[in-house]
Amino acid sequence: MFIVLGATGHVGSATAETLLKQGETVTVVTRDAEKAELLQKLGAEIAVADVHDVETMRNVFRFGKRLFLLNPPPHRTPIPIKPKRKQYVISWRQLTVRGSIRSSRSPPTAHNGVTTSAT
Integer angstrom CA distances of residue 116 from 11, 73, 81, 102: 14, 22, 26, 7
Strand partners, 26: 2
Prediction pTM value: 0.67
Instruction: Give the pLDDT confidence of 70-95 residue by residue, as tens digits.
Output: 765 555 555 555 665 666 665 566 55
CA dihedral 11, 104, 84, 57 (to 10 degrees): 60
Per-residue pLDDT of the chain (119 residues; tens, 9 = 90+): 899 988 898 889 999 999 999 999 999 999 999 999 999 999 999 999 988 787 888 888 888 888 887 765 555 555 555 665 666 665 566 555 565 555 444 444 444 344 444 44
Integer angstrom CA distances of residue 119 from 15, 65, 96: 19, 11, 11
Whether 77 and 110 have beta carbons less than 8 Å apart is answered as no
**Structural domains in the chain?**
2-111 (3.40.50.720)
